[in-house]
Structure 1
Amino acid sequence: MEAIIKPFKLDEVKEALQEVGLQGITVIEAKGFGRQKGHTELYRGAEYVVDFLPKVKVEVIVADETVDGAIEAIRKAAQTGRIGDGKI
């Protein structure tokens, strides 16, 4: 199972997965964008567009019978209610 989440939600997702009995995860730093697109920043007086936003890809191996619990744990822990929460 793969989930793309916001980096600041990683600890919450890790704890949620441990609570449902999953111990091993792989975490990969990533960049991407979806509906939230990028954003504009100002650096040394110059404006520039940041197209890709920092994300974290979490990979977990789960048995068929624990998939639903793992999905729900990730969904609850990673959700902020804002655009760009990620994908499972």
Structure 2
Amino acid sequence: MAELKIFIPDSLNIRFRRAAMNAYGYGRGSLSKAAAEALAEWCKEKESKQTLETNKAEGTVHMESPSAPKPHPEILTGPENERAPVAGGT
């Protein structure tokens, strides 16, 4: 496991410690758990944004409307949606 020393504003330190203790209690490791969760979420957000920007620059962005209904997999046709035969069955 790695050690990471960071410098943050006092106000953020207080907010973070309060939130970490509320989420994980006052026991040992609470700050580490909360920090790992926060850093993982931050990385995920940045990586996702970077991928989107890269795809946009390459012209490969395929945005789907979140309200557009997706067809049920059994309705779709094509070899990837065909069922494999069941041994000894129908």
Which TM-score applies when normalising by structure 2?
A: 0.25
Which TM-score applies when normalising by structure 1?
A: 0.25
> Max radius of gyration: which structure?
2
Q: Answer 1 or 2: which has greater strand percent.
A: 1
Query: Could you say which structure has the greater relative contact order, defined with CA pairs below 8 angstroms and 6 or more residues apart?
Result: 1
